[in-house]
Structure 1
Amino acid sequence: MGSVDSSRLPLVFFARLSGLVVAVSVLYWALFLPNQGLSYSTLHPLLMVIGFILVSGEAILIHRWLPGSRKTKKAVHLWLQGVALASAVFGIWTKFHYQRGVFANFYSLHSWMGLLSVSLFGAQWVTGFMSFWHRGEVRTTRTTFLPWHVFIGLYTYGLAIATAETGLLEKLTFLQTKRNVPRRGSESMTVNGLGLGLALLCGIVISAAVLPKYQSHSGNEKLVYSSQDRPKCLSS
């Protein structure tokens, strides 16, 4: 059984706290401020922020707080990422329901970054799924791939945050120019606060993922690092 990394528990706590603030902010903005209830336009930010960003961030943190074996952590990580991927695909699907045509909303930097981040996330999930269920491959191959898996995962998470920020800016610009929403009104302040919350969450989650490890491993679960912090032996 693996031990919990107590040195990172404060980061996990602050990640959860900032994630809660983000979730409350996007729920308040999407469901209460427009006074239009659930619709395709309100489902999109809910699915992409809560379903995609928050759930995938929790999947990253799984390895830092969940007790148990590496196999258990990898299984929970995999299925949480699957939920995040499904939410992202459904969130993109909501943007196809407009009278101007199927691709009417896929013209901006926000839409292009969104398609890129979800595509990378999907490819990452497929490779992780294949690696989890096909464990007979050569160990050195898995060891070589691990740093790339971590890098691409964190890069995609950061890209998703950046995509959300561009979406918030795009939406806020539309509200202020087309609908005359006051720049210091409640909706503008909520959107700006949501953007700051996402930026804070991104920093905390990535910090928890990349800071040096202080875990003690026992039994068959061993992870040995060289002086360059590259894995030399990664047990199954």
Structure 2
Amino acid sequence: MGGARMRELGVQSWRLAVVAQVLGVAACVMVLVWCIHFRGGLAFVATNKSLIFNIHPVLMVIGFIFLGSEAILAYRVLPGTKQQRKVVHSTLHLIAFVLGIVGMYAAFKYHNESGIANLYSLHSWLGLGTIILFSIQWKLWFVAFWFPGAPEGLRAASLPWHVLFGSIVYVLALATAVLGFLEKLTFLEVAGLAKYGPEAFLVNFTAIVVLLFGVFVLLSIITSTTPSPVNGFEYSPLAESQ
């Protein structure tokens, strides 16, 4: 119902996708400026352990959030055959997952080498849970839509649930990212960072841009009219079938 209503109002999916792309690129640039210009750069091995941590937000935003969003948009709004969209969708998700794992490793490495406890905050709990749910989602997608022995009926029936579960995981990833920016900025301000300084404003605006990016990605999916047949079965988006 929601997607059909928005199309009646003249909202076109490709326009929303363009806005999402602009916001996504802006978020990537902003997190790089923060970690390189304000925080001193990136390194897996360094005496300044903060450089190790800087890898975490960069890979989680550019790798997990941005590439994961590109994977979602590719399947719904990218021109081409179903098979081509499916390959791009799966490949980008796999790359996003790998980069997300490396990003989480950087956070654990920073904590361990700095004598900081692991998994004590809501951000870390949601982050670990999101990665686990994402891995389950990708494995189920692979079995249902790539495994040759999967029944055709299973593929048709599971696709709406794949979209729903994937959307939930995506929202969790966005919430985790925003909490991460809030948590890090709070630590920095407690340590003496100016609350109204340029770095504080940059971090806050980066979080807002990431959130808006996710909103426009979801809106572009809801308004998309791209057909998604699965071996002869036509799939109707869950948002429109309710």
The two structures have a TM-score, normalised by structure 1, of 0.85
Pairwise CA distance, 1:223: 2.6
**Residue 188 of structure 1 pairs with residue 200 of structure 2:** yes
Distance 1:33 1:214, change over 3 A: same
Report the counterpart of residue 154 of structure 1 in structure 2: 167
Residue of structure 1 aligned with 2:139, choices 117, 121, 126? 126
Distance 2:124 2:235 in 1: 42
Confirm or deny: 8 A CA contact 2:130 2:169 kept in the other structure: yes
Residue number among 203, 206, 210 corresponding to 2:218 in the alignment? 206
In structure 2, C-alpha distance between the alignment counterparts of 1:95 and 1:215, rounded to whole Å:
38
Mapping 1:45-194, distance limit 5 Å: 45-97=57-109, 98-99=112-113, 104-178=117-191, 180-194=192-206
2:211 corresponds to which letter in structure 1?
Answer: A
Distance change (3 Å), C-alpha of 1:195 and 1:138: same
The alignment's C-alpha RMSD in Å is 2.5
Is residue 7 of structure 1 aligned with residue 18 of structure 2?
no
In the TM superposition, what is the alpha-carbon distance from 1:225 to its structure 2 partner? 4.9
Alpha-carbon distance in 1 for matches of 2:227, 2:132: 36
The corresponding residue for 1:234 is: none
Give the whole-Å Cα distance in 2 for the aligned partners of 1:223 and 1:169: 42
Q: Deviation digits for residues 166-185 of structure 1, max 9, x if unmatched? A: 1111111111111x111110
CA 1:224–1:160 in structure 2 vs 1: closer, same or farther (change >3 Å)? closer
User: When the two structures are superposed, what TM-score results if normalisation uses the length of structure 2?
Assistant: 0.83
Are the counterparts in 2 of residues 7 and 214 from structure 1 also a CA contact under 8 Å? no
Specify whether residues 70 and 221 from structure 1 end up closer, same or farther in structure 2 by C-alpha distance, changes over 3 A only. farther
Over residues 216-235 of structure 1, what are the superposed CA-to-partner deviations in whole Å (9 max), with x where a residue is unaligned? 789x8773659x9449xxxx
Match of 2:48 in 1: none
Please give the alpha-carbon distance, in whole angstroms, between the structure 1 residues aligned to 2:225 and 2:28: 31
1:120 shift after superposition: 0.5
Q: Distance in 2 between matches of 1:191 and 1:95?
A: 18
Decide whether aligned partners of structure 1 residues 225 and 192 sit closer, same or farther in structure 2, where only a CA change above 3 A counts. Answer: closer
Per-residue deviation, residues 59-106 of structure 1 (Å, max 9, x unmatched): 0000233222111111110010000000111111112222356x8231
Q: Using a 3 Å threshold, how does the CA distance of structure 1 residues 214 and 132 change in structure 2: closer, same or farther?
A: closer
Gaps of 5+ in 1: 1-5, 232-236
Counterpart amino acid of residue 22 in structure 2: L
Q: Call closer, same or farther: CA 1:185–1:215 in 2, change over 3 Å.
A: same
**Residue 56 (structure 2) pairs with residue 44 (structure 1):** yes
User: Is this contact kept in 2: 1:69–1:221, CA < 8 A?
Assistant: no
Q: Aligned residue for 1:223?
A: 234
Percent identical residues: 35
Going by fraction, where is helix more abundant, 1 or 2?
Answer: 2
Partner Cα separation in structure 2 for residue 27 and residue 19 of structure 1: 13
Counterpart CA distance in 2 for 1:210 and 1:158 is 14
Aligned residues: 221
